[in-house]
Amino acid sequence: MIAESGHYALVLALALALIQSTVPILGARWRDPALMNVARATALAQLLFVAASFAALVALYIVSDFSVVNVYENSHSTKPLLYKITGVWGNHEGSMLLWVSILALFGGLVAAFGNNLPLSLRAYVLAVQGWVASAFYLFILITSNPFLRIASPPIEGRDLNPVLQDIGLAVHPPMLYLGYVGFSISFSFAVAALLEGRIDAAWARWVRPWTLVAWIFLTLGIAMGSYWAYYELGWGGWWFWDPVENASLMPWLAGTALLHSAVVMEKRNALKVWTILLSILTFSLSLLGTFLVRSGVLTSVHAFATDPTRGVFILLILCVFIGGSLSLYAWRASALKQGGLFAPISREGALVLNNLFLTAACATVFIGTLYPLALEVLTGDKISVGAPFFNLTFGPLFLPLMIAVPFGPLLAWKRGDLLGAAQRLTAAGIAALLAVAMLWAWTRGGNAFAPLAIGLAVFVIAGALTDLAERTGLFRVPFATATRRARGLPRATWGSAFAHAGVGVALIGIVCETTWNSEYIATMRSDDVAKIAGYELKLDGVTQRPGPNFREMQAQFTVSLDGRRLGEMTPSKRNFTARASSTTEAALLTRGASQLYISLGETTADGAIAVRIYHKPMVLLIWWGPMLMAFGGLLSVSDRRLRVGAPKPAKALRGLQAAE
């Protein structure tokens, strides 16, 4: 009954989405408040039914009901409870259900908290959400139904891919999807504005919190995915320029550009048409990412051709939504009132520069990702575009952007003073030069590029601090006044300072890890000692032990520095019998922001074991940076100006209780 109820709830959600996508539009056309309000109720009800459907699938996984094909194919009764739950979205069907659940969640949030929107805008936005949702419900029900049944269920499931049996699966896909799908809201707002034929500065403010939330989750999702790949795949790499990774990076770049251009629109009523286009593009890239990952086109163009139903369906969705919204844009954008003009040297000028670089960077990633696919389709040749291409194209685009980052916040709106900004950044520049000089002296030659890049990162961080110091008047006015000003500073200002500093922090991590990473690869026996970056790692022994659904070979290492014992590291190799495959579980030892990393290879016939040991200096900064960025985003979301027109506190409280 659970399975069938979940299935039926999904069908009802589709029916509601279809009503949500038609009735409110008619209502908005005829200015009929009752019809417009249907959008709100159906969006909330849709969320309820999808949530029920998702909960049903989770329940089926927990009780190991193998009469459901999806559970049989991706679960196993001996799997730990956590992985039974995360296994729900560790496969195609379940992850699509998570996708639509999050879509419905965002629709429900707009319905519940969109009281500050004009009624007709809210109706249009929710109707567009309804279109997207209907398309994906149909996709799930027709081609990837997670609730299909087996009449005589097998006694045991086929188990989840062992690489996915990790805490990373619990966090990464939901975060990433919250980001991907969150951009559907800015898309819906853009299409709604085009349908209404009206757009102005207020629009940017209404759409900002949604874009920010999506951006925060996408940032965290990408960072989390990168860390997961780092410790799970056993190679110590954290970014591979893999098409799947690029698919998430592209919406992030476009979304970052969108965040910045929306600020210009909000403050100066300019860049309106461009912002609309970016909103459409960002979500289009999210859809493209979904297509790339979910259609199987990446494994091989030919695999896609042999089982085309899914791929063709998503391709169809992709064409209808991207093509449809872009045609609507081409048709209606000229009718929108253009915004004001502005001087090139100004805050808005700097933000346009930022947009240019970010979209260009996004375009290079786009080409690098899709060119091999297009080539394979047209000529059948298989090529891979890897790190060298991206380092040559993406790098040069990001360097000038990084130099420009500290200038932007220091320039005034309308007419900026570049010289003045440069003067105020002198301190940051000096800090950067000092860092370069110190590193140069410390490393003596080596890679000349690395100290420069770190200097740049220091410049970005110091620039963010300078911005805060300038605004609060620190060092110029008495300290008490400065703290008072700091408290009065809009949270968005704090947010952008944190986010910009985060970029610098991540850059330091990236440069340190790629330049001063050292590795030790050898075959070791018991009591062998490996020396790396001053650390001594002694292999104490190798033991076999059974896990819940795997057997494990675990090696014990004792780590010491200058004869002082630091701790134990226990990397292991796990053998999963149900899928007859194995995974390596790397062991990590964190020292400050640096890490020691051990991963096991094959055992030789005489009992020795292949071992890869890495010392990765400052590697954690790569992920602390994005966390700082996301924290900045969070501060920005909590800014009071984004709460404009929200109901009075008492009323909001009542609303919340009603929603429970």
Select from 21-29, 232-240, 248-256, 295-303 the region that touches another protein (CB under 8 A): 21-29
386, 396, 541, 645: which one contacts another protein (CB under 8 A)? 645
Contact between 93 and 146 under an 8 Å Cβ cutoff? The reply is yes
331, 413, 475, 479: which one contacts another protein (CB under 8 A)? 413
- Rounded CA gap, 290 and 132, in Å? 13
**How far apart are CB 392 and another protein at their closest, in Å?**
38
Residue 329 found at the interface with another protein (CB under 8 A): no
Contact between 146 and 4 under an 8 Å Cβ cutoff? The reply is no
N residues, the chain: 660
Could you tell me the two tokens for 216? 């925060």
| DSSP letters spanning 434-464 | HHHHHHHHHH-SS-SHHHHHHHHHHHHHHHH
- Rounded CA gap, 231 and 229, in Å? 6
Q: Which of residues 491-510 bind another protein (CB under 8 A)?
A: none
Q: Is 599 helix (H, G, I), strand (E, B) or coil?
A: strand
Taking residues 439 to 478 in sequence order and writing x for each that binds another protein by CB under 8 A, - otherwise, the string is --------------------------------x-x-----
CA 261, 262, 268, 272 torsion-angle sign:
positive
Contact between 384 and 242 under an 8 Å Cβ cutoff? The reply is no
Taking residues 50 to 69 in sequence order and writing x for each that binds another protein by CB under 8 A, - otherwise, the string is ----------x--xxxxx--
Triad 625, 631, 636: Cα angle to 5°: 130
Residue with smaller CB distance to another protein, 34 or 441: 34
Residue with smaller CB distance to another protein, 383 or 412: 412
112, 141, 171, 399: which one contacts another protein (CB under 8 A)? 141
Contact between 107 and 50 under an 8 Å Cβ cutoff? The reply is no
**How far apart are CB 658 and another protein at their closest, in Å?**
13
429, 547, 601, 647: which one contacts another protein (CB under 8 A)? 647
Residue with smaller CB distance to another protein, 264 or 627: 264
Select from 362-370, 394-402, 446-454, 486-494 the region that touches another protein (CB under 8 A): 486-494
Residue 187 found at the interface with another protein (CB under 8 A): no
Taking residues 282 to 321 in sequence order and writing x for each that binds another protein by CB under 8 A, - otherwise, the string is ----------------------------------------
Q: Is 231 left (phi over 0), alpha (psi -120 to 50) or beta?
A: alpha
Q: Which of residues 75-134 bind another protein (CB under 8 A)?
A: 77-78, 115-120, 122
Select from 213-221, 358-366, 383-391, 410-418 the region that touches another protein (CB under 8 A): 410-418
Residue 659 found at the interface with another protein (CB under 8 A): no
Q: Which of residues 243-272 bind another protein (CB under 8 A)?
A: 269
**How far apart are CB 269 and another protein at their closest, in Å?**
6
Residue with smaller CB distance to another protein, 149 or 538: 149
- Rounded CA gap, 512 and 593, in Å? 11
**How far apart are CB 373 and another protein at their closest, in Å?**
27
Q: Which of residues 377-396 bind another protein (CB under 8 A)?
A: none
73, 143, 153, 373: which one contacts another protein (CB under 8 A)? 153
Q: Which of residues 575-614 bind another protein (CB under 8 A)?
A: 577
Q: Is 568 left (phi over 0), alpha (psi -120 to 50) or beta?
A: beta
- Rounded CA gap, 313 and 189, in Å? 25
Burial class (CB in 10 A: 0-12, 13-18, 19+), 575: middle
- Rounded CA gap, 288 and 509, in Å? 30
